[in-house]
Amino acid sequence: MQQAEDFREESSVLFALLAEAPADVFDSVTQFKDWTVNDVLGHLHFFNAAAEAALKGPEAFEAMMASAMAELAGGASILELQYPWLDGLRGPDLFRAWRAGVDRLAGAYLKADPKARVPWVGPDMSALSAITARQMETWAHGQEVFDLLGQARPETNRIRNIAHLGVATFGWSFRVHGHSVPEPAPHVVLTAPSGEVWTWNTPQEGNRVEGSAVEFAQIATQVRHWSDTQVKATNGTARQWMMQAQCFAGPPTAPPAPGTRFRLLQEG
């Protein structure tokens, strides 16, 4: 699956950033819920390992997740559930373990049947969806690290996987918030990093979302508030979607408040 290589490349961009970062970067606090870089890497490493176990089958996945699900049932947060599994792993050791885990996961999914069903915390999904979700989460959580270090991430057309996921979860973005799904879905017109134009859904002048594919992905993954981007949406359904877009599973989550997620200025 090309998406497995896209996941590997997405991770490599974050590897390169952190490899050049100051030694104390792992304890630095990001703009995402006060998570540290250690928290971000631990979260990515844990769920990458979960996706690797899922490909091996339900028994391997359940064994991997048993302790974490017990933590969650006991009131632990999505961040805290990774702690028992990590067993104190942090800093450069966590960085190396995460990097090795990425290579294992990409290699496993590269050879997998895209249509194979794999278990997950919620409903099962295709192997294709599972590895795309890993790219999405790596890209989304990578954003807070790029913002923290004042760096602009080099983007490529592999962002299409995440933009497509954002479009495909239009209905979910309404259902998860307890709303009925309006029809039809908006026409989506996005400009790729290469300048290519990508479109989804039936053309409708009065029901349209248009802009940068990268900024659309930022909205769908909730790393930016819609008003902090240049993405345009017509009144009605398209505008409501942009105010609550959520391309990831879990409980309803509000996007960051306007002006609270941004790239910090580099010192000097």
Q: What is the pLDDT along the chain (268 residues), one digit of tens a residue?
A: 999 999 999 999 999 999 999 989 999 999 999 999 999 999 999 999 999 999 999 999 999 999 898 888 899 899 999 999 999 999 999 999 999 999 999 999 999 999 999 999 878 999 999 999 999 999 999 999 999 999 999 999 999 999 999 999 999 999 999 999 999 999 999 999 999 999 999 999 899 999 999 999 999 999 999 999 999 999 999 999 999 999 998 899 999 999 999 999 876 4
Rounded to 5 degrees, what are φ and ψ at 262?
-160, 165
What's the fold here for domain 158-243? Nonspecific Lipid-transfer Protein; Chain A (3.30.1050)
Token pair 């799904």 in the structure block, residue: 181
Same CATH fold assignment for domains 2-149 and 158-243: no
What's the fold here for domain 2-149? Four Helix Bundle (Hemerythrin (Met), subunit A) (1.20.120)
What residues does each domain of the chain span?
A: 2-149, 158-243
- Chain-centroid distance, C-alpha 143: 9
The structure tokens listed for 48 are: 């990458």
Q: Using an 8 Å Cβ cutoff, are 256 and 248 in contact? A: no
Per-residue CA distances from 40 to 16, 58, 112, 137, 226 (Å)? 16, 26, 27, 10, 23
